[in-house]
């Protein structure tokens, strides 16, 4: 019913037959009662008093809603600020805000700031929706509209949407918990099962991962069952370096460790190395080699570049120190009627040279010279005469008519 109709009915029936409260479907408010006491109980007065009372109540509800929203947002901003810098006292944060205290952000603090901002924006959106929903329902009640069926209908619709969009709800909740637990962020290198690579984007519904081949994977958060983050806080370069079985393991370990330590002390790399390199010992006695494990704690995401550069330097150092890099080896048994000595009785014994301390030092220096090619004076480091190698299968001295049997 329009306001024009209400005024017309009030003017036509001065006997009070038009009940404004029945029109609005509401009870009298305090403002309406006060106006009627001051100006009488006529239909027009009641209509004006009712209108003023309704407008006042709506304005009051809006004002309370705005105040609650402001208080909620202020509390969220304080919580976000505390989450960004939980260790700093309140005074330091205030001085840093006005520029009186220098603060250099670290990788961890940047990740914390990003996560706090995302959760703060989400909390602000949820609080705004809840408060404005309550305000709208309250205003409808002021006008005398029965909100019970509306609330019940909204509940039924919400349940139907929840059943129909279970995957969407699951993705959303997974994204929220991912942010709360700081499982990964943009720029991290992760293994999500279906794809592994660099995270290029994260939303509450999905995650975008760029793998090493350049493929961009879009994975719903609800489909991610486990996450392996390879670049959070710190990383570790792990190298299993194989040497021949005839090599002195202690000497080879010393060469590897000294090459890695020299690299860690260089100006270009000392900020990337978070700790001194460590030799953990012999990791495996393989078919063709003895594997020595070297571990290095590095900045997140830098472990791969460090490992590649170390392999290059260790290869150059091994060449200089004459440490054998293994190749596939087999033990060969020759069965003949007469004893046979491969190479003859005058063949030199099979032996590996052991480098001395000056040779090891030259090997460490050689590993740092240039990115490619042989270092200056590299030829002088090589021995004048080639070292005797192992006897080869199929030697002419093995005798004719020998029956070969190979055992790997």
Angle at 122 between CA 117 and CA 123, to 5 degrees: 95
C-beta of residue 180 within 8 angstroms of C-beta of residue 116: no
Per-residue pLDDT, averaged over 379-395, amounts to 45
pLDDT of residue 355: 82
Query: Among all chains, which residue has been given the structure tokens 């008519």?
Result: 401
User: Quick one: pLDDT at residue 385?
Assistant: 47
Buried b (16+ CB within 10 A) or exposed e, 212-236: eeeeebebbbbebeebebbbbeebe
Number of Cβ within 10 Å of residue 243's Cβ equals: 24
Q: Which of 332, 331, 395, 322 is nearest to 353 (CA)?
A: 322
pLDDT of 341 higher than 60: no
Least trusted range by pLDDT, from 1-5, 165-169, 312-316: 1-5
- Predicted pLDDT of residue 2: 46
User: For residue 93, is pLDDT > 60?
Assistant: no
Residue 315 predicted with pLDDT over 60: yes
Q: What are phi and psi of 223, to 5 degrees?
A: -90, -10
**How far apart are the C-alpha atoms of 217 and 194, rounded to whole Å?**
9
Q: 406 or 103: whose pLDDT is higher?
A: 103
Identify the bridge partners of residue 404 per DSSP, sorted by sequence position: 334
Q: Which residues of 85-123 are buried (b: 16+ CB within 10 A; e: fewer)?
A: beebeeeeeeeeeeeeeeeeeeeeeebbebbbebbbebb
- Which domains does the chain show, CATH number per domain? 3-145 (no CATH), 168-229 (2.30.30.60), 235-381 (3.30.70.100)
pLDDT at 188 over 70: yes
Question: What is the Rg, in whole angstroms, of the alpha carbon atoms belonging to the chain?
Answer: 40
DSSP 3-state of 197:
strand
pLDDT for residue 260 is more than 70? yes
- Closest by CA to 325, choosing from 288, 357, 350, 354, is 288
Over the stretch 278-299, which tens digit does the pLDDT of each residue have?
A: 999 999 998 888 999 999 999 8
- Structure tokens belonging to residue 278: 């460590």
Q: Which two tokens stand for residue 201?
A: 């984007």
pLDDT at 312: 93
For the chain, how many residues are written? 408
Does the pLDDT of residue 314 top 70, yes or no?
yes
Query: pLDDT class for 386, splitting at 50, 70, 90?
Result: very low
Residue 383 confidence class, pLDDT cut points 50, 70, 90: very low
The pLDDT, as a whole number, for residue 371 is: 44
pLDDT of residue 58: 86
Pairwise pLDDT comparison (95 vs 45), residue with the higher score: 45
User: What is the model's pLDDT at position 310?
Assistant: 93
**What is the average pLDDT across 8-30?**
50
Token digits of residue 381: 């480091």
**What is the Cβ-side half-sphere exposure of residue 164, based on CA atoms within 13 angstroms?**
6
Q: Which of 26-35, 253-262, 353-362, 364-373 has the highest mean pLDDT?
A: 253-262
**What sections of 323-376 are H helices per DSSP?**
357-367
Mean pLDDT, residues 206-218: 91
Q: Residue 408 and residue 393: Cα distance in Å, rounded?
A: 14
What is the arithmetic mean of pLDDT over 146-167? 79
How far is 92 from 392, CA to CA, in rounded Å?
Answer: 75
User: What's residue 137's pLDDT?
Assistant: 87
């Amino acid at each position: 019913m329009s306001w024009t109709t209400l005024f017309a009915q009030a003017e036509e029936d001065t006997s009070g037959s038009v009940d404004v409260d029945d029109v609005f479907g509401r009870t009298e408010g305090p403002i309406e009662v006060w106006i009627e006491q001051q100006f009488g109980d006529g239909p027009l007065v009641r209509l004006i008093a009712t209108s003023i009372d309704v407008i006042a109540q709506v304005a009051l509800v809006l004002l309370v809603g705005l105040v609650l929203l402001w208080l909620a947002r202020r509390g969220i901003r304080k919580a976000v600020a505390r989450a960004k810098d939980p260790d700093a006292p309140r005074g330091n944060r205030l001085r840093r805000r006005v520029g009186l205290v220098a603060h250099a952000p670290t990788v961890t603090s940047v990740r914390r700031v990003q996560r706090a901002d995302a959760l703060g924006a989400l909390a602000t959106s949820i609080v705004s929706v809840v408060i404005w929903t309550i305000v709208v329902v309250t205003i409808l009640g002021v006008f005398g509209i029965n909100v019970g069926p509306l609330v019940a209908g909204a509940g039924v619709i919400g349940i139907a949407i929840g059943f129909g969009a279970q995957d969407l709800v699951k993705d959303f909740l997974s994204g929220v918990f991912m942010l709360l637990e700081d499982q990964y962020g943009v720029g991290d290198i992760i293994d999500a099962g279906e794809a592994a690579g660099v995270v290029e984007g994260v939303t509450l519904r999905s995650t975008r991962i760029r793998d090493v081949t350049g493929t961009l994977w879009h994975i719903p958060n609800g489909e991610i069952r486990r996450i392996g983050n390879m670049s959070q806080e710190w990383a570790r370069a792990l190298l299993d370096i194989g040497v021949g079985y005839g090599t002195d393991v202690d000497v080879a370990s010393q060469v590897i460790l000294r090459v890695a330590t020299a690299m860690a002390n260089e100006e270009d790399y000392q900020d990337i190395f978070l700790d001194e390199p460590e030799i953990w010992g012999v990791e495996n006695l393989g078919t063709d080699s003895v594997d020595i494990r070297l571990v290095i704690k590095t900045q997140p995401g830098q472990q791969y570049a460090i490992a590649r550069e170390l392999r290059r330097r260790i290869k150059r150092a091994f060449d200089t120190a004459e440490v054998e890099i293994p190749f596939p080896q087999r033990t060969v048994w020759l069965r003949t009627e007469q004893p046979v000595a491969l190479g003859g009785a005058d063949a030199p014994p099979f032996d590996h040279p052991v480098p001395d301390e000056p040779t090891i030092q030259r090997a460490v220096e050689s590993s740092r010279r240039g990115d490619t090619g042989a270092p200056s004076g590299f030829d002088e480091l090589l021995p004048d005469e080639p070292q005797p190698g192992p006897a080869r299968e199929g030697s002419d001295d093995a005798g004719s008519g020998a029956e070969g049997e190979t055992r790997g």
